[in-house]
């Protein structure tokens, strides 16, 4: 197919200082959990984006000095010759496909604890980030930077820029965003200095100017110098000489960088989940930058629509379309647009599971793209699969996320695949969950797979078909895959922090009951110890339906785990806006319609709430009775020609949608594989420098 001419503008080259990007697709710096300890995995991960058509492919954040240590979060380093060799694997891989390679040089300042290096952190005035969540808490406070420290910071940046050039990078960053050290100089909350680096905006921006000048000198005109800067807070602050302090900063630096990479200030706003924020949400903050500078501007906004991308360029908002999450969900997004295959784009759903990977300290994961992070380790490619290893036929029972992903990958390999879904529509849990507040975009998991499967002649779908074990034995398939999902339990939560016991009786519900149309009597209490999205989304859903709703959790926050996916601040705002009352550090100990008894999690002190209906969002268990019925008939399986019975997804082990999709994909990739082959390769750091 030919490219749609209205998207031609996306494929124009863009000059960035001394280098030229081959198109306007720019994979911006983002953490991916693959540090110098996993150099081959990192190189293959970034290479796949270059192969997929991204004109610029950037690293994650890269420390310029041991005084910037983000452990245990997975950060990269550019401190020595071993690091140069490690990063060169990535630049060589990216260059192989004609793309530019960028590196985000980084100093964390007072936002890091230097837990491994044990060097006291640095900040402009000795203040630090004192987060409200234990994930980012620490006891080490920074020291106030003196004049020598400032000179050292500039020297470290220049030395790292020279190393970046040696490693083969084409675009070298100064990073003044997201609470890190150069950004700390820009805000008076961090910067209370009275010398030439504090006070006025002109003084506060001085260190950024010096870092840019030092970087230019260090790369000697061979690399472009980019400034990545957060503008959200500055845009909200008035200035005596400009429309805002953000305008003033950009005007003061206007044409000093070769590229402006503009973003917001905190991860929950900069990488906002789709549950609360639409595509292109950065525009109101960053739209002015191109009016001030003559240099190209890149920005993000979870862009998946090529029309939205073109709109950003034609309206003069951006020159380059930046992406982190969309480039993870579909590394081949640019090539698909180029080939007139926009309908094949695997669109990001904005669930932010990728961001939770960084918080977990592991290689990146994606709900939509199960191959991400596995490009080198398992040799998985997002667009290519090995041909079928036999003429086997496969029956998949269950059309939820895991069953659909399994069916699609098996059919792409060439197997004859039949999917039987008991309900009248496929989608499994997505049929209900996408109707909850803010979760409509998650329907892309279903929509993309359905669209791909409908075009495959070796895929057969039977809806409204609840198969029994006896019927499966009669169908004559070689392999049977059970993808029948899971169900929520009416279990309570013990002081040992383990689901325990059960609460049966009238007016006790689970999310399954709500999905099946149960009519609740208010007031309603939602007891959530699942700690992800379901409890808070249900509470908001029920409140919008007109109920008086209380949200109860044994943790200290609503949707406590959602701090990992950047959702938690917005969850609290959404519950407050919906009028949901919040009861933290509490567990349900008893319920009679009319009154709910709570026990304080740490003291057991009791309290009571008016409540007519209780919804428990806690433990889940597999719907695997069909699997057990089949495996208990081993004598009949061989006679029926069935070689294997396998569970995948929630039917094996309940989890998030990302786990279900990965489980289905892995089964499909490994069918008929050599059972003796190792399941994945282990990466290791490059080391040539002798150690004592």
- Report the DSSP beta bridge partners of residue 226: 173, 259
The answer to whether residue 687 sits within a structural domain is: no
Q: Tell me the HSE value of 60 on the side-chain side, using a 13 A CA sphere.
A: 24
- Report the DSSP beta bridge partners of residue 597: 590, 608
Strands (DSSP E) contained in 86-142 are: 100-106, 122-123
CB 528 within 8 A of CB 556: no
Q: Are residues 446 and 515 in the same domain?
A: no
Per-residue pLDDT, 692: 55
Q: Are residues 422 and 571 in the same domain?
A: no
- Report the DSSP beta bridge partners of residue 21: 14
Point out the residues of the chain with pLDDT beneath 70: 689-692
How many structural domains does the chain have? 3
Q: Which residue has the tokens 């019975």?
A: 645
Per-residue pLDDT, 687: 80
What phi and psi values does residue 149 have, to the nearest 5 degrees? -60, -40
Q: Are residues 517 and 645 in the same domain?
A: no
The answer to whether residue 682 sits within a structural domain is: no
Per-residue pLDDT, 689: 63
SS3 171: strand
Helix 533-544 / helix 568-577 crossing angle, nearest 10 deg: 20
- Report the DSSP beta bridge partners of residue 462: 420
Continuous segment of H or E residues that includes residue 406: helix 401-413
Q: Are residues 145 and 91 in the same domain?
A: yes
What phi and psi values does residue 524 have, to the nearest 5 degrees? -115, 140
Q: Are residues 266 and 119 in the same domain?
A: yes
**155 Cβ neighbours under 8 A, 6+ residues apart:** 214
Tokens of 285: 């903050």
- Within 10 A of 383 (CB to CB), how many other CB atoms are there? 16
pLDDT tens for each residue of 255-265: 999 999 999 99
Q: Are residues 117 and 20 in the same domain?
A: yes
The answer to whether residue 690 sits within a structural domain is: no
Per-residue pLDDT, 691: 57
192: closest CA among 242, 133, 126? 126
Per-residue pLDDT, 132: 84
Give yes or no for a cis peptide into 113 (omega within 30° of 0).
Answer: no
Give dist(CA 446, CA 328) in Å, integer: 18
Give dist(CA 215, CA 257) in Å, integer: 10
CB 129 within 8 A of CB 86: no
Give dist(CA 234, CA 189) in Å, integer: 12
The answer to whether residue 684 sits within a structural domain is: no
Q: Which of 620, 635, 654 is the last residue of a domain?
A: 620
Tokens of 618: 């806690």
How many residues comprise the chain?
A: 692
Give dist(CA 323, CA 303) in Å, integer: 7
Give dist(CA 254, CA 176) in Å, integer: 15
Tokens of 639: 């006679």
The answer to whether residue 119 sits within a structural domain is: yes
CATH of the domain at 637: 3.40.50.720
Look up the domain containing 577 and give its range. 489-620
Give dist(CA 511, CA 538) in Å, integer: 8
Give dist(CA 663, CA 649) in Å, integer: 5
What phi and psi values does residue 621 have, to the nearest 5 degrees? -140, 150
Active-site entry in 26, 175, 180, 532: 180
Q: Are residues 458 and 597 in the same domain?
A: no
The answer to whether residue 239 sits within a structural domain is: yes
Q: Are residues 292 and 183 in the same domain?
A: yes
Q: Are residues 205 and 121 in the same domain?
A: yes
Tokens of 87: 């990063």
Distance from the Cα of residue 457 to its chain's centroid: 33
Active site residue 26: no
Q: Are residues 607 and 655 in the same domain?
A: no
Give dist(CA 138, CA 504) in Å, integer: 43
The answer to whether residue 373 sits within a structural domain is: no
CATH of the domain at 519: 3.50.50.60
What phi and psi values does residue 73 have, to the nearest 5 degrees? -65, 145
Q: What is the pTM of this model?
A: 0.96
336-355 core/surface letters (b: 16 or more CB in 10 A; e: else): bbbeeebebbbbbbbbbbbb
Per-residue pLDDT, 152: 98
Q: Are residues 535 and 445 in the same domain?
A: no
The answer to whether residue 366 sits within a structural domain is: no
Q: Are residues 81 and 163 in the same domain?
A: yes
Q: How far apart are the first and last CA of the chain?
A: 59
CATH of the domain at 317: 3.20.20.70
Give dist(CA 383, CA 333) in Å, integer: 11
């Amino acid at each position: 197919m030919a490219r749609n001419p209205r998207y031609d503008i996306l494929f124009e080259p863009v000059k960035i200082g001394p280098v030229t990007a081959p198109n306007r697709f720019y994979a911006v710096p983002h953490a991916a959990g693959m540090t110098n300890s996993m150099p081959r995995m990192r190189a293959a991960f970034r290479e796949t984006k270059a192969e997929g058509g991204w004109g610029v492919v950037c690293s994650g954040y890269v420390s310029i000095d041991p005084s910037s240590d983000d452990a245990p979060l997975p950060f990269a380093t550019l401190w020595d010759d071993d690091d140069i060799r490690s990063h060169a694997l990535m630049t060589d891989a990216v260059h192989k496909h004609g793309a530019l390679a960028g590196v985000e040089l980084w100093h964390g300042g007072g936002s890091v604890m230097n837990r491994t290096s044990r060097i006291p952190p640095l900040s402009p005035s000795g203040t630090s980030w004192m987060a409200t969540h234990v994930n980012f808490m620490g006891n080490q406070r920074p020291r106030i930077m003196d004049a020598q420290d400032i000179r050292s910071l500039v020297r470290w940046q220049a030395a790292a820029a020279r190393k970046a050039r040696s490693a083969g990078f084409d675009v070298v960053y100064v990073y003044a965003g997201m609470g890190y050290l150069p950004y700390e100089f820009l805000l008076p909350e961090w910067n209370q200095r009275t010398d030439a680096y504090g006070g006025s905006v002109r003084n506060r921006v001085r260190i950024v100017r010096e870092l840019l000048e030092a970087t230019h000198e260090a790369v000697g005109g061979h690399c472009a110098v980019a400034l990545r800067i957060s503008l959200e807070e500055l845009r909200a602050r008035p200035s005596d000489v400009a429309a805002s302090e953000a305008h003033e900063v950009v005007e003061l630096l206007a044409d000093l960088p070769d590229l402006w990479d503009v973003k917001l200030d905190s991860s929950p706003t900069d990488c906002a989940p789709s549950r609360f924020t639409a595509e292109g949400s950065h525009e109101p903050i960053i739209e002015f930058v191109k009016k001030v500078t003559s240099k190209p501007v890149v920005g993000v906004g979870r862009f998946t629509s090529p029309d939205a991308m073109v709109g950003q360029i034609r309206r003069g908002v951006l020159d380059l379309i930046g992406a982190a999450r969309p480039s993870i969900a579909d590394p081949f997004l640019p090539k698909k647009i180029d080939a007139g295959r926009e309908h094949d784009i695997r669109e990001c759903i904005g669930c932010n599971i990728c961001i939770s990977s960084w918080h977990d300290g592991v290689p990146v994961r994606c709900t939509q793209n199960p191959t991400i992070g596995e490009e080198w380790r398992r040799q998985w490619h997002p667009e290519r699969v090995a041909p079928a290893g036999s003429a086997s036929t496969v029956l998949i029972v269950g059309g939820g996320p895991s069953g659909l992903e399994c069916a699609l990958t098996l059919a792409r390999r060439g197997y004859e695949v039949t999917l039987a879904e008991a309900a009248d529509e496929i989608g499994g849990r997505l049929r209900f969950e996408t109707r909850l507040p803010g979760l409509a975009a998650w329907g892309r998991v279903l929509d993309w797979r359905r669209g791909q499967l409908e075009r495959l002649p070796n895929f057969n779908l039977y809806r409204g078909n609840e198969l029994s074990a006896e019927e499966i034995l009669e169908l004559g398939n070689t392999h049977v895959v059970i993808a029948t999902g899971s169900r929520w339990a009416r279990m309570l939560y013990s002081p040992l922090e383990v689901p325990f016991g059960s609460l049966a009786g009238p007016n006790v519900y689970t999310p399954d009951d709500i999905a099946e149309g149960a009519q609740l009597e208010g007031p309603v209490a939602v007891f959530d110890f699942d700690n992800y999205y379901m409890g808070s989304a249900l509470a908001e859903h029920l409140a919008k339906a007109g109920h008086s709703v209380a949200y109860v959790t044994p943790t200290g926050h609503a949707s406590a785990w959602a701090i990992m996916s950047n959702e938690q601040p917005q969850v609290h705002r959404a519950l407050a806006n919906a009028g949901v009352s919040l009861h933290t550090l509490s567990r349900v100990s008893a319920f009679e319609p009319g009154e709910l008894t709570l026990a304080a999690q740490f003291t057991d002190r009791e309290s009571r709430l008016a409540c007519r209906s209780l919804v428990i969002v806690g433990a889940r268990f597999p719907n695997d009775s069909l699997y057990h019925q089949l495996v208990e008939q081993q004598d009949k399986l061989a006679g029926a020609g069935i070689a294997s019975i396998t569970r995948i997804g929630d039917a094996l082990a309940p989890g998030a949608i990302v786990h279900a999709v990965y489980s289905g994909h892995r089964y499909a990739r490994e069918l008929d594989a050599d059972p003796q082959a190792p399941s994945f390769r282990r990466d290791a750091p490059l080391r040539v420098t002798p150690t004592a």
